[in-house]
Structure 1
């Protein structure tokens, strides 16, 4: 089995594949100080390391890469592929400096191209809201980076003494009748409007009506209120890791 691991700044998503089938998945908090042994103990209660034939890793936290490699060597005793420069992805990268592109953005684009065709735009709701663009020619041509939902709201709460933290849920109405309702409306409709505005601008620059696929932890909250998002694919990144692993097998 393949263990696909996407280490983000806030959360780590893991999935176990048997061939093309995702058989199990988990979402954990990313702890930057965790060691390989701590990861081994944690994952040992979730999966059987003896059944793991390989690990494909994408990490936006450089300090954790060596700890995951340590886990692969000591606990899983399986080969590990770290997505980065020099790794085959199957997608041409038309970026001024390809080394600057986050590995999660690349694997998202690989999966979106394979599953939905080109052109396609991926909107990933994470610590930042990433827009990644695959051109009609099937090339990764860049994208847009915007503050993420939780990042934006935490900054707002830190600077506004009278505002309180709220649950990220759909508000009962656009016009908030309470402070909580107003904040929730701002999250849902504000970020949906941001997505639609950026997607419209990207489509105008591409000159085509590219499909829009959303992924990430809060995608299902925003997507129903966006006029441009066509579908939500919660496991897009994991599937991209599987495809990259197969391309380098």
Structure 2
């Protein structure tokens, strides 16, 4: 078994794979600072709660966009699982040719997503991740990744509404029954969700227009991606496990035979 760890700006998502099968997932917040012992005991507790024998975890891989948690998290994996984790970063084998002007600026999370989408669905593919930020990354048919768009995520937009305006409340992010809102909460929900749908459709269509790629597959992932994917036919596939699968694929590419 291998443990895959995706450290995002909001949550740390863990997945356990047995061969290519995702056995279980669990999460903890990435905004709470922890020591390596705290990470270690929480990881062991969550493995136990999911009926996973920690002695069967023979490898680990981490992709992180939050550098400040890495020292303690790596220490926890080494000390409590007795394995040195592979870190997604410069020098890792991906099977993707990164052709951007500064490849080192590409976030590990985006690399993981494009690797997974290309391996699972082929190219050309546009990968959308509805996370803290909403990202759109293009991989060509021959596996080149050099084009990406970054926009504020739905939660960032929502937070700006209720934190920067005196009289707007915090609301649940969901699609209201109608865009023709008659009160404050559904008005905010309409703006957030329909606004994201409109942005998504425009960016996808503009990418197709400027690249001239008519057979572009569009794959979405991320916590709120399901809400958007269900409301637009410009998204072909919603894959909730895309990032975790990408970590597993990268582990196999770099650690097979070890």
* Length-normalised TM-score, structure 2: 0.94
List per-residue Cα deviations over 1:77-119 (Å, max 9, x = no partner): 0121000001111111111111100001001000000111100
Matches of 2:211 and 2:26 in 1, distance apart?
A: 36
Say which of 93, 98, 118 aligns to 1:93: 98
Q: Which of residues 69, 77, 84 is equivalent to 1:79?
A: 84
Structure 2 residue aligned with 1:158:
163
**Per-residue CA shift, 1:105-140, capped at 9, x if unaligned?**
001000000111100011101110011110122211
Work out whether 1:8 is the aligned partner of 2:35: no
| Aligned twin of 2:46 | 46
- State the match for 1:18 in structure 2: 18
Is 22-31 or 105-114 further displaced after alignment? 22-31
Aligned residues of 2:137 and 2:147 also touching (Cα < 8 A): yes
Aligned pair partner of 1:245 in 229, 251, 254: 251
Q: Which residue of 2 aligns with 1:57?
A: 62
Distance 1:89 1:71 in 2: 26
Q: Aligned pair 1:232/2:238, yes or no?
A: yes
Structure 1 runs of 4+ with >4 Å offset:
none
Whole-angstrom CA distance in 2 between matches of 1:207 and 1:71:
47
Unaligned 5+ runs, structure 2: 48-52
Deviations 1:156-176 (A, max 9, x none): 212211111111122111111
Cα RMSD of the aligned pairs, angstroms, is 1.1
Asked if 1:173 corresponds to 2:169, the answer is: no
Q: Give the one of 117, 123, 126 matched to 2:128.
A: 123
2:116 alignment partner, SS class:
helix
- Give runs of aligned pairs for residues 25-36 of structure 1, distance below 5 A: 25-36=25-36
Aligned length: 249
In 2, Cα distance between equivalents of 1:156 and 1:93: 36
Cα offset, 1:32, TM superposition: 4.7
Report the 3-state secondary structure (helix = DSSP H, G, I; strand = E; otherwise coil) of the residue aligned with 1:45: helix
* In 2, Cα distance between equivalents of 1:223 and 1:242: 24
TM-score by length of 1: 0.97
Q: Is contact 2:157–2:192 with CA below 8 Å preserved after alignment?
A: no
- CA-CA distance at 1:226 after TM superposition: 2.1
| Matching residue of 1:143 | 148
Q: 2: CA distance between counterparts of 1:181 and 1:150? A: 16
